[in-house]
Structure 1
Amino acid sequence: MKIIEHATAASLWAVAEPLLATDPANNTHQLSALSRILQLGARHGERFFAVELDGMLVGCATLVDTQTLFLSVMPDEAATALATWLRTQQIALAGVIGRRDLLKSFTDIFDREYSVHADLLLYQLHGSPAFGSASGASRIATSNDIDLLIDWLSAFEAEVGMIAVPTPLAERVRRRIADEQIVLWCDRGEPVAFAGGNPLPAASARIGPVYTPPPLRARGFAQAVTAAASVHVQRDRPRTVFLFTDALNPASNRCYQRIGYRHIADHAHLLFDRRAT
């Protein structure tokens, strides 16, 4: 196995796109990270790695702005080779995200104490999404919704314990509004829930985050807005649509199953003990 560090996201993308497209579901974190960096540039020390066997690409990984490594699908021996190389090069990682089986191969060799930040269930939409019976209708968020969405996204990130990112929250919200990536569900004209929707390469898309303020929950708004976002991300072309759920949140899992999402794989986000040497 040979590990090659690429200087830019564009350089890695040029060789990795066909590989990532073979399994857009399990490579969705890589597709999302690389497409975002290709659009915005690498502003926070992002790094890009390829794993080759006999001159053929068999896996890749992106170290994003939180010092979290996103692993593509790859053979177990590629994951162990990458872990060995990163450890030898003394490249610091705050965490790693990927398919559960690959994470075991990686962490066995990377040899750092870690905790599970999130057990993630990967779901894929089958058929047309079911909106349920919630009252109201959807609309695309506009610049008039910025303050509301900053408040809601801040509350969402606090609730799920999201790892802090360098890009300010307001900048992230404005960008997603400009790209028409946020759908609101409104009841009696007032926003009651939102869902993000991110079109990705390989004719795929990912939904998230989804948030309903606590006083408005259990009324079907999360199902309705997720269904609306699932339709919206396919406005330009048919796409295979995915989302991640917290394995420990039965309510959200039931909600997405009612829409038409089906569990297809197990992923996880692991955090390394930064005090380890």
Structure 2
Amino acid sequence: MIQLHRYREVQEFKNQVEPLLSKNEVLHNLALGILHSLQENSKPNFMGVILKDSRAALVLLQTHPKQIILSQIRQLTEGELSKAAELLQEIEIPGLVGERQMVLYLSQKLADLKNQEASLKMDQRIYRLDKVKKAADADGVLVKARLEHLPLVTEWIWEFMGVIGEPVSKEQAVKTGEAFIKEERLFLWEVNGKYVSIANATRPTAHNITINFVYTPQKERKKGYASSCVSTLSQLMLDEGFQTTSLYTDMTNPTSNKIYMEIGYEHVADSALVLFHEKK
């Protein structure tokens, strides 16, 4: 039997789902990392669990205006996913992100039920690393970003978000940059006094932390800077006590996938982001 249980209180939701998600911190790093950052008075857009025979099968969490995170705890058949779609059709769902095959199937069922269209926005791979195999081979050093770096960080965030198809205003880029710097896990790769690449460590859980916002401006690419930056930052996070680091890559970019695998990242799962919109 497939059921939907909605939660109103953050702490109750955390108590129910954190132990389940923590069994695979890398796979569920997105939901877990966000859960860890929520306060008791936080107001997520949506918190829920799809139950199969009274046991959690899918965890749903929305704090982002455009997507609900789907974390698969137990495998569901296509018939069970279809039933889940029926239970979810009355909820306002702008998009779904999660394990690729499950998200693609469920989103199509939901789109049919709601008379909407579902479009694939991002095709990604999730990688994990427990040991750095390739240390930095480009000249340079890793430098923690400070407030004095904010103008450069802002510019690169603005460029990066445009490149990945999620453009932001300069004001939003400033806010994001300030938040990253405040967390003290944003790092620059410096070569001969010049900053050439950037990477951020985010969403820490008990044993894992995620590397994101890996960016090198156009004129500094193909020099190994991003690889060295990510490799050194990954090692730093392991040295800080995290057992693993994880990251998402664009499935359509074979170059970045190859670079990360050379560093020591191993493919764990595929992830998809699907957005819903009205039929034209």
Q: What is the match of residue 59 of structure 1?
A: 58
1:158 maps onto 2:162 in alignment: yes
**Counterparts of 2:158 and 2:13, CA distance in 1:** 32
Q: 1:214 to 1:170 in 2, by over 3 A?
A: same
Q: TM-score, normalised by structure 2?
A: 0.88
**Counterparts of 2:142 and 2:97, CA distance in 1:** 32
Say which of 114, 122, 128 aligns to 1:124: 128
Q: CA deviation at 1:40?
A: 9.0
**Counterparts of 1:121 and 1:40, CA distance in 2:** 33
Q: Deviations over 1:100-137 (max 9, x none)?
A: 12113312431342111111011111422523321010
Q: 1:200 to 1:242 in 2, by over 3 A?
A: same
**Counterparts of 2:130 and 2:246, CA distance in 1:** 10
Q: What is the match of residue 215 of structure 1?
A: 219
Q: What is the match of residue 259 of structure 1?
A: 263
Equivalent residues in 2 for 1:1-277 (5 A)?
A: 1-38=2-39, 41-42=42-43, 46-74=45-73, 75-77=75-77, 79-87=81-89, 89=90, 91-111=91-111, 112-162=116-166, 168-273=172-277, 275-276=278-279
**Counterparts of 1:206 and 1:169, CA distance in 2:** 20
Secondary structure of 1:18's aligned partner: helix
**Counterparts of 1:271 and 1:183, CA distance in 2:** 31
**Counterparts of 1:164 and 1:23, CA distance in 2:** 32
Q: CA deviation at 1:245?
A: 0.6
CA contact (8 A) 1:26 1:73 kept: no
CA contact (8 A) 1:32 1:200 kept: yes
Secondary structure of 2:126's aligned partner: strand
CA contact (8 A) 1:2 1:53 kept: yes
Q: Deviations over 1:238-273 (max 9, x none)?
A: 322111110111221121112111222111111212
Q: CA deviation at 1:163?
A: 6.6
Equivalent pairs counted in the alignment come to 271
User: Percent identity over the alignment?
Assistant: 23
**Counterparts of 1:39 and 1:206, CA distance in 2:** 23
Write the letter of the residue equivalent to 2:60: A
Q: Which runs of 4+ in 1 moved over 4 A?
A: none
Flag structure 2 segments of 5+ consecutive residues without an equivalent. Answer: none
Secondary structure of 1:22's aligned partner: helix
CA contact (8 A) 2:153 2:177 kept: yes
CA contact (8 A) 1:30 1:72 kept: yes
Write the letter of the residue equivalent to 1:106: L
Write the letter of the residue equivalent to 2:5: I
Secondary structure of 2:27's aligned partner: coil
CA contact (8 A) 1:135 1:187 kept: yes
**Counterparts of 2:40 and 2:151, CA distance in 1:** 25
Q: CA deviation at 1:63?
A: 1.7
Q: CA deviation at 1:39?
A: 8.6
Q: Deviations over 1:61-119 (max 9, x none)?
A: 112222301100132256444422220x2x22221111112113312431342111111
Q: CA deviation at 1:170?
A: 2.0
Q: 1:68 to 1:164 in 2, by over 3 A?
A: farther
Secondary structure of 2:269's aligned partner: strand
Write the letter of the residue equivalent to 1:241: T
Q: CA deviation at 1:158?
A: 0.1
Q: 1:100 to 1:215 in 2, by over 3 A?
A: same
Secondary structure of 2:24's aligned partner: coil
